């Protein structure tokens, strides 16, 4: 539909809402100087309208994010009250240009507000304030240097493995462009909201789950630009009623783009799990992923070698067709824990594609045991590290 990027045709025959109308309405919200409005101050960006729902960002200095929450709420309220608007989703994004220091480069002595002492005594990487999620203990990123290595499958089974070890677990699908959690966990439908704002996570197999796939059509997310993706991500983290969780597993998008960096810089991650296949190329990519987390001082909890070896379905014989063991060697070389080898099996592929992950579907099977062990190794490190109790700033 021409113009669909900035206007929405409501199904009930109401007039389209335009970006201009949204901006006009937002002029009624005063900015932090209490003199000019937020539109005049150039704080509003990424206005996007889809199916009567309005999404936009308000850029604020990172260190003022907490006190400017009422301003965000006011902006959300006025837009939500516009005739024809079904909902509004507003994200505060950190200002990197005016008023706040750029995350990089900056003087080495300028440590993050609640940075922990660096174990190796290296200079701190300056970063934006990291804001935690109320009620959520440890946030773990599952990442890979490139796509298709089985990162999402690993994230799901790791989450289930942690749950099988008695923990309260949530999973956040941070892959905005290619959300896979609805399929992998066989969840359909839309989440409900509390007070029209906080989203209730979906649930299956004992996991609380949030994914862009529950909120928008895939084509909608495809046209989002960088800042909107970041806003959506942070909102999926902080405006979801996760309740009390021991661990939130974040399935990161593949690669090492801006989104990953934002997550690493703005979210107090307890650590990252890197998924790789045995092939050299994947390992090189995995190394890139690993370096990114190291740069921003997110502890790397270890490497999982996925599709490590092949088990023949008929005979059960094992074939090391990919020259398995590369990830273990690489982990040793890099000085990070090796978490385990997951075989390439028909069962993993079929079950993950059918939305019945093996740790839940066949809890007594060999593969479930492998994932549970990986989960135990991951949890042991988190439980042992002081980073787990990273202070979180609570919005309300």
Ligand X SMILES: Nc1ncnc2c1ncn2[C@@H]1O[C@H](COP(=O)(O)OP(=O)(O)OP(=O)(O)O)[C@@H](O)[C@H]1O
User: Rule CB under 6 A: which of 279-338 touch ligand X?
Assistant: 306-307
Neighbour order of strands in the sheet with 53-61: 44-50, 53-61, 87-95
231 binds ligand X (CB under 6 A): no
149 binds ligand X (CB under 6 A): yes
72 binds ligand X (CB under 6 A): no
Alpha helices, H only, the chain: 19-26, 69-80, 151-164, 181-184, 218-222, 226-238, 258-266, 280-295, 326-334, 346-354, 358-361, 366-384
- Looking at 162, 212, 344, 358, which residue binds ligand X (CB under 6 A)? 344
Burial pattern 307-328, b for ≥16 Cβ within 10 A else e, equals: bbbbbeeeeeeeeeebebebbb
147 labelled ligand-binding: yes
273 binds ligand X (CB under 6 A): no
Q: What are phi and psi of 161, to 5 degrees?
A: -65, -40
User: Rule CB under 6 A: which of 245-264 touch ligand X?
Assistant: 254
User: Rule CB under 6 A: which of 166-185 touch ligand X?
Assistant: 175, 178, 180
User: Which residue is at the shortest CB distance from ligand X?
Assistant: 150
149 labelled ligand-binding: yes
Pick the closest to residue 177 from 240, 257, 242, 248 (CA basis). Answer: 257
Which window, 225-233, 315-323, 331-339, 341-349, contacts ligand X (CB under 6 A)?
A: 341-349
152 labelled ligand-binding: yes
Token pair for 136: 């959520």
- Looking at 42, 108, 147, 226, which residue binds ligand X (CB under 6 A)? 147
- Looking at 104, 114, 349, 380, which residue binds ligand X (CB under 6 A)? 349
Query: 266 burial class (0-12, 13-18, 19+ CB within 10 angstroms)?
Result: buried
266 binds ligand X (CB under 6 A): no
CB of 212 to ligand X, least distance (A): 13
153 binds ligand X (CB under 6 A): yes
CA distance 159 to 169: 6
CA distance 181 to 184: 5
List of residues contacting ligand X (CB under 6 A): 144, 147-153, 175, 178, 180, 254, 306-307, 342, 344-345, 348-349, 352-353
Binding residues, as ranges, are 145-152
């Amino acid at each position: 539909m021409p113009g669909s990027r900035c206007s929405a045709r409501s199904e009930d025959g109401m007039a389209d809402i335009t970006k201009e109308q949204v901006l006009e309405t937002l002029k009624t919200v005063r900015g932090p100087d209490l003199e000019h409005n937020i539109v005049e101050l150039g704080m509003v960006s990424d206005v996007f309208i889809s199916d009567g729902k309005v999404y936009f960002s308000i850029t604020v200095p990172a260190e003022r994010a907490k006190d400017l929450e009422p301003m965000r709420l006011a902006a959300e309220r006025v837009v939500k009250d516009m005739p024809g608007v079904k909902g509004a989703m507003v994200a505060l994004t950190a200002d990197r240009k005016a008023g706040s220091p750029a995350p990089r480069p900056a003087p080495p002595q300028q440590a993050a507000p609640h940075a922990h002492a660096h174990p190796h005594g290296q200079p701190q990487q300056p970063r934006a304030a990291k804001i935690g999620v109320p009620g959520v203990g440890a946030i773990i990123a599952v990442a890979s240097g490139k796509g298709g290595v089985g990162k999402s499958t690993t994230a799901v089974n790791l989450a289930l493995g942690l749950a099988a070890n008695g923990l309260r677990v949530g999973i956040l699908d941070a892959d905005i462009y290619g959300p896979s959690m609805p399929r992998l966990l066989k969840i359909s439908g839309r989440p409900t909201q509390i007070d029209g704002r906080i989203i209730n996570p979906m649930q299956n197999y004992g996991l609380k789950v949030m994914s862009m796939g529950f909120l928008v059509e895939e084509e909608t997310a495809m046209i989002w630009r960088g800042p909107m993706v970041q806003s959506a991500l942070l909102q999926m983290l902080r405006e979801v009623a996760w309740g009390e969780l021991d661990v939130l597993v974040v399935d990161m998008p593949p690669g090492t783009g801006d989104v990953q960096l934002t997550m690493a810089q703005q979210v107090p991650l307890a650590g990252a799990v890197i998924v790789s296949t045995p092939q050299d190329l994947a390992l090189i990519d995995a190394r890139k992923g690993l370096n990114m987390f190291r740069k921003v001082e997110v502890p790397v909890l270890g490497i999982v070698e996925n599709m490590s070896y092949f088990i023949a379905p008929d005979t059960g014989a094992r074939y090391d067709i990919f020259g398995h063991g590369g990830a273990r060697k690489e982990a040793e070389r890099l000085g990070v824990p090796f978490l385990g080898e997951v075989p390439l099996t028909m069962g993993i592929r079929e079950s993950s594609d059918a939305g019945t992950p093996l740790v839940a579907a066949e809890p007594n099977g060999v593969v479930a045991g492998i994932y549970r062990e990986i989960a135990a190794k991951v949890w042991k490190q988190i439980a042992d590290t002081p980073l787990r109790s990273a202070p979180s700033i609570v919005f309300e």
